[in-house]
Amino acid sequence: MKIGNSELIRNIDNYCINDLGIPSIVLMENAALKVIKNIDFQKFKSFTIVCGTGNNGGDGLAVARQLFSMNMKIDVFIVGNHSMSKDCFANYNILKNIGIDIKHIITSEDMINLREALLENDMAIDAIFGVGLTRKIEGIYEEVIKSINKSNSYIMAIDIPSGMKCDSFGILGTSIEANKTISFEVYKKGFLDYEGEKYTGTIIVEKIGVPEYVVNKFHHKEYLTEIGDVKNIIKKRNKCAHKGDFGRITIMAGSENFTGAAYISTEAAVRSGAGLVTLCTKKSILDILKSKLVEAMSMSYEDIAFEGVISNSDSIAIGPGMGNNELTLKCVKNILSKNGCPVVLDADALNVLKGNLELLKNSKRKIIITPHMGEMSRLTGVDVESLIENRIGIAVNFAKEYKVIVLLKGYNTIITDGNEVYVNSTGNSKMASGGMGDTLTGIIASFIGQGYEPFKATIVSAYIHGYCGDILSKEMFCVNASHVIEKIPYVVEYLVK
């Protein structure tokens, strides 16, 4: 699903109106019909429609007309005394001609009728402000929004909850807190805010008659990963294939205090379908891990065969549980200084890059980095709060500058190669436990080793990782790494089918 901002919407609208000759009021009518489509009329019979004076308000007035034609009870309000946009005014006049009483809210004294309607009706429809809002909400608008939020009505927002930022994260003072948002053409960037769901509720994105090539003409290659995207990437296995066809994956991980990280990342690679997996670790913990890893090979860095394993690998993952120390830095330098297969850098392999970012620039390998917010902050020097606010832009710029793939972990994980951006749509807070990052590292290394293009492999891996957690979370209070690892092959098979 495409992600977009207010500039994209303006460009699309202008092109449709000026170049294609589609009247803007036709797009408005299409939007209204899609709102109607998403109302459950078995549950909702009466409606409070609260409109602004712009095109979002026009959408609301068109919805009111459709509801009236269906013999639904409606109460219609317009907030503010600004002049109406052309299409809003057209729909306003149609309602007046039909004989619908439209109440205006300009001062606090006008709020009485709104509060009564909110008390009586089943649903409140928010059509006050759209994607173009940039100023802080104050005065009568703030009063109206707070009254809607305090009501017991089910709240549906048209395109974007009034008060929510479209182009960045956060709200403009206050915002509608909707149960459902019916948005149009693209998923709005503001929806990706960590607090976004509080304001949007369930998000439905509907097409309103804009040709796809028009959207593509102005779109900036930012996407929300959906299950169809993943199904299009994952390939069904050839029945004649053997283990050598599914990659040789090397995991460099673990230390005395973190044997679990090595085990988890290695098992995740195995369970994701890798043909041959080898764990390379410290000699002091080798016997412990050998006893646990039944389906993977293992060796120490001192093993005479180590360099041969590295040179024959189809993918390498470095970092889980290794420790932020000279040995880890030496391993990272050794791998990145040589030509060869793609490399996934995670955890301590990222920590040792602080002050050593030239290793990324000088390497000829394809590199995937998988930092969480704290690790990305250390790499970039940007504080975590600022990073969260501008995580897409910072991830894109880092990927471009160092020519790497960045997977920036967190709610709505960001994956970018500096050209395209995919925002992962799976995963939840029940997965917030140690070892989840190690699991993801193993999955990414596995899919790259199986022959998937590294950027696509990273997108698929993040989705599968979160999807496993989402399925398990339906029946579990918390989900641990071992649960996800156990679930991986079943989820992949489901996605293949």
Q: What is the DSSP string of 147-215?
A: HHHHSSSEEEEESS-TTB-SSSSSBSS-----SEEEEESSEEGGGGSTTHHHHH-EEEEE--S--HHHH
8 A C-beta contact, residue 414 and residue 407 = yes
Residue 33 annotated as part of some ligand binding site: no
pLDDT value for 216 = 96
Q: Annotated binding residue at 483?
A: no
Q: DSSP label at 324?
A: S
Is 81 within any annotated ligand binding site? no
pLDDT score recorded for residue 435: 97
How far is CA 42 from each of CA 46, 48, 119, rounded to the nearest angstrom?
Answer: 11, 17, 19
To the question of whether residue 409 is assigned a binding role by annotation, the answer is yes
Concatenate the DSSP letters of all residues of 77-101 into one string.
Answer: EEES-SPPPHHHHHHHHHHHHHT--
The predicted structure's pLDDT at residue 152: 93
- Under 8 Å between Cβ of 321 and 252: no
Length reported for the chain: 497
Q: Is 416 annotated as a binding residue?
A: no
Helix (H/G/I), strand (E/B), else coil: 118: helix
Q: What is the model's pLDDT at position 8?
A: 96
Q: How far apart are CA 308 and CA 318, in angstroms?
A: 17
Q: Is the dihedral of CA 430, 436, 439, 444 positive or negative?
A: positive
pLDDT in 10s for each residue of the chain, 497 residues: 999 999 999 999 999 999 999 999 999 999 999 999 999 999 999 999 999 999 999 999 999 999 999 999 999 999 998 899 999 999 999 999 999 999 999 999 999 999 999 999 999 999 999 999 999 999 999 999 999 999 999 999 999 999 999 999 999 999 999 999 999 999 999 999 999 999 999 999 999 999 999 999 999 999 999 999 999 999 999 999 999 999 999 999 999 999 999 999 999 999 999 999 999 999 999 999 999 999 999 999 999 999 999 999 999 999 999 999 999 999 999 999 999 999 999 999 999 999 999 999 999 999 999 999 999 999 999 999 999 989 999 999 999 999 999 999 999 999 999 999 999 999 999 999 999 999 999 999 999 999 999 999 999 999 999 999 999 999 999 999 999 999 999 999 999 98
Candidates 160, 163, 209; CA nearest to 182 is: 160
User: Can you tell me the distance from the alpha carbon of 476 to that of 428, in angstroms, rounded to the nearest whole number?
Assistant: 12
The CATH classification number of 1-218 equals 3.40.50.10260
Q: In what order do the strands lie in the sheet with 222-224?
A: 222-224, 421-423, 414-416, 405-408, 367-369, 343-345, 315-318, 248-252, 276-281, 297-300
334 annotated ligand-binding residue: no
C-alpha separations of 136 from 171, 403, 497 in Å: 8, 39, 49
Binding site annotation covers 62? no
Ligand-binding annotation for 59, yes or no, is yes
Boundaries of every domain in the chain: 1-218, 226-494
Residue 135 annotated as binding site: yes
- Residue 56 annotated as binding site: yes
Whole-number pLDDT of residue 424 = 97
Residue 141 counted as an annotated binding residue: yes
283 is in an annotated binding site: no
CATH class of residue range 226-494:
alpha beta
Backbone φ and ψ of 389, nearest 5°: -65, -35
236 is in an annotated binding site: no
pLDDT, residue 260, reads 96
User: How far lies 430's CA from each of 200, 263, 300, 426, 488, in Å?
Assistant: 21, 21, 35, 12, 17
Residue 441 labelled as part of a binding site: no
CA distance 59 to 129: 10
The reply to whether 159 sits in an annotated binding site is yes
pLDDT at residue 463 in the model: 98
Structural contact between residues 179 and 154, judged by C-beta atoms closer than 8 angstroms? yes
The answer for residues whose C-beta is within 8 angstroms of residue 150's C-beta and 6 or more apart is: none
410 is in an annotated binding site: yes
412 among the known binding-site residues?
yes
What is the DSSP-derived secondary structure letter of residue 2? B
Is 321 marked as a binding-site residue? Answer: yes
Q: Is 372 assigned to a binding site?
A: yes
Query: Which residues, other chains included, contact 69 with Cβ-Cβ below 8 Å and sequence gap of 6+?
Result: none
8 Å CB contact between 446 and 269: yes
The pTM assigned to this predicted structure is 0.93
438 annotated to bind ligand:
yes
Q: Is 134 annotated as a binding residue?
A: yes
Q: Is 346 annotated as a binding residue?
A: no
> Buried (b) or exposed (e) across 441-469, using 16+ Cβ within 10 A?
bbbbbbbbbbebebbbbbbbbbbbbbbbb
